[in-house]
Structure 1
Amino acid sequence: MVNQSPLETALSRAMIRWSLTKSTPVAETATSWVFRVEQNGRKPAALKILKPAKAEDERRGGALLNWYGGEGAVTVFDIDGDTVFMEWLDGVPLGDAVRKGRDGEATIAFAGVVAQLHKPRPEPAPEDLIPLRQRFRALFDTDVRAWPHTARDLYARANGIALRLFDRPAAQIPLHGDLHHDNIISSDRGWLAIDPKGVIGDPAYDVANAFINPMGADKLAAEPKRIAALADAFSSRLGFNRKRVLGWAAAHAALSACWDLEDGNAIVGQLAILPQLLAAYDLA
């Protein structure tokens, strides 16, 4: 008999545990394998099997999804070790609306998802959420010389804004931590978030990623009118301080650039957007 791989073992255990049939691989990411399955011939469901090296981060996200209880996020049915059994979403990402010219509608939907995720819940939040300041470690630890010479002032300014934001106390709540348009999927229950990182910190940070997204919309993201419209919508619909929203947007764009520099990727998109975000922050 051929020995099963760890993935095959985890999959067969899950199929038996939850009485599943018809497993079909649908995606492999840096952190997990995703399968489409059926439970007792009923509606399809999803199995997410975490890769051992990345399991800790993903486990944190799974626990936060479980805490959301399906409000504003995909529903988790059960978790067994490093396997998450959850709702199957076969809709389209919110990013598609932006790429088809419906950015205003997408912004309203985005704000609606954030409002759902940030609702107070009676159960205590998971205990091992990452402090937001820890998530910003790459920004604070980066050597400014890693940035292109002409952009080092942008790095310094964004770094200073981030430090000021952390020095001014804000509410500390569970955050998705990686909310962008392509992590919000349509369903028969409305728009739902997937793949949270499991962070705790300032609620206004959860909209920061919207400013540099979605993928394929770099030109739109750098438009001052779009930046102002996002800040206005998140401020009016969610009650966030507008200057704080723009501060987090600028700080996050710089953090995103630091992550890309660490990975050896170009930061052309962030460098196009960052000056506009800093200008908007100054004016707010």
Structure 2
Amino acid sequence: MEIPAHFAETTIESKGEPGRLWLAGLPAVIGSCVEQWDLALDGPVWHGYMGVALPCHTADDQAVVLKVSWIDDETRWEPVALAAWDGRGAVRLLRRDDARGAMLLERLDGSKTAGDLEGLEAAVLLGETCRRLAVSAPPGCGLPRVRDRAARMLEELPATWERLGRPFARPVLDEALATCRDFGPEQPDTLLHGDLIFANVLNADREPWLAIDPLGLLGEPAYDAGKFLTNRWADHTAAGDVAASIRRRLAAFADAAQVEPERARRWSLTRLVADGLWACEYQVEAMPRVNAVIDALHD
């Protein structure tokens, strides 16, 4: 099989020589999984940011997807989260090989994502998905915790903000840090998706919509608000008042997810600050939208 050129380029750019070595061994990993799980490939290779997905059929003619991902702290928890949900609100995990970063997943229709819906309708869908996925985590699952991320942000955000030339006003940073102090220490053992954006909720046959590509976290559902606020940006601009449109979308999510709107606002701002600092270094073209959301949410 041929690795998509763009995927190979971005992997090497992001991971350097270890990424190049991983790509070199990827066809062998895929071939081994195909043989071990008795699969027949039946379509072109798809890819995301750090993994490839191959449509297959099983020996009993079930349509499935073989997904193989680069293994790091962002990807290693996906099979743990999917196994815990067991198909409830998310794509069903059928087989896994954690050592190779391989998963066999049910194949979704995938002809539409939440991003094909109008922004407010999509926000409601993501809120409902968040509520469904917010279940008690299996004991000893080892998933990373929001409280640890909050502690790390308290330590890292001020230094990064200074190093990058203070790209936000100090009160914005202070509010993000206050959220980490106020909410971070006491977090429940509730399973979260971690990356609820419009592209990560697909239409399906078994249920109308199912989530894919979870990071897997333990914490309060309000933490999952906000990542999608920059999606379908044209809906915000068409509304005329961009800030009001952003706030309406967040309110729709919070209502559907049954989370406190103020906690959703504060976590959204905090995550956008962290994302914005990353974008300052690696995706500067995203900054105008990130700044607009921060301005809309900052109290």
TM-score (norm 1): 0.82
Per the TM alignment, residue 215 of structure 1 is displaced from its structure 2 partner at its CA by 6.4
Instruction: Please state which structure has a larger fraction of its residues in strand.
Output: 1
1:141 is the counterpart of 2:161: no
Which whole-Å deviations, capped at 9, do the CAs of 1:96-143 have from their partners, x for residues lacking one? Answer: 21xxxx22321221122112111347xx25622112244453674143
- Asked whether the equivalents of residues 31 and 55 of structure 1 are also in contact (C-alpha less than 8 Å), the reply is no
Unaligned runs of 5+ in 1: none
- Asked whether the equivalents of residues 21 and 41 of structure 1 are also in contact (C-alpha less than 8 Å), the reply is no
Q: Does the C-alpha gap of structure 1 residues 79 and 107 become closer, same or farther in structure 2, counting only changes over 3 Å?
A: same
1:179 is the counterpart of 2:196: yes
Aligned position for 1:112: 128
Per the TM alignment, residue 257 of structure 1 is displaced from its structure 2 partner at its CA by 0.4
1:130 is the counterpart of 2:148: no
Per the TM alignment, residue 35 of structure 1 is displaced from its structure 2 partner at its CA by 0.8
Per the TM alignment, residue 206 of structure 1 is displaced from its structure 2 partner at its CA by 1.2
- Asked whether the equivalents of residues 85 and 133 of structure 2 are also in contact (C-alpha less than 8 Å), the reply is yes
- Specify the SS of the correspondent of 1:73: coil
- Greater shift, 140-149 or 87-96, is seen at 140-149
- Greater shift, 264-273 or 157-166, is seen at 157-166
Q: Which amino acid aligns with 2:230?
A: I
Aligned position for 2:211: 193
In structure 1, how many angstroms separate the alpha carbons of the residues matched to 2:44 and 2:96?
A: 19
Q: Which amino acid aligns with 2:222?
A: A
Unaligned runs of 5+ in 2: 1-22
Per the TM alignment, residue 213 of structure 1 is displaced from its structure 2 partner at its CA by 2.6
In structure 1, how many angstroms separate the alpha carbons of the residues matched to 2:264 and 2:143?
A: 22
Number of positions where the alignment pairs a residue of Structure 1 with one of Structure 2: 268
1:255 is the counterpart of 2:269: no
- Asked whether the equivalents of residues 131 and 221 of structure 2 are also in contact (C-alpha less than 8 Å), the reply is no
Alignment equivalent of 1:93, drawn from 94, 113, 119: 113
Aligned position for 1:270: 290
- Identity of counterpart residues, as a percentage? 23
- Asked whether the equivalents of residues 89 and 185 of structure 1 are also in contact (C-alpha less than 8 Å), the reply is yes
Q: Which amino acid aligns with 2:296?
A: Q
In structure 2, how many angstroms separate the alpha carbons of the residues matched to 1:186 and 1:249?
A: 25
In structure 1, how many angstroms separate the alpha carbons of the residues matched to 2:226 and 2:253?
A: 10
Aligned position for 1:166: 183
Q: Which amino acid aligns with 1:128?
A: G
TM-score (norm 2): 0.78
Over the aligned positions, Cα root-mean-square deviation in angstroms equals: 2.8
Q: Which amino acid aligns with 1:74?
A: V
Q: Does the C-alpha gap of structure 1 residues 215 and 63 become closer, same or farther in structure 2, counting only changes over 3 Å?
A: farther
Q: Which amino acid aligns with 1:62?
A: P
1:11 is the counterpart of 2:30: yes
Q: Does the C-alpha gap of structure 1 residues 77 and 232 become closer, same or farther in structure 2, counting only changes over 3 Å?
A: same
- Specify the SS of the correspondent of 1:208: coil
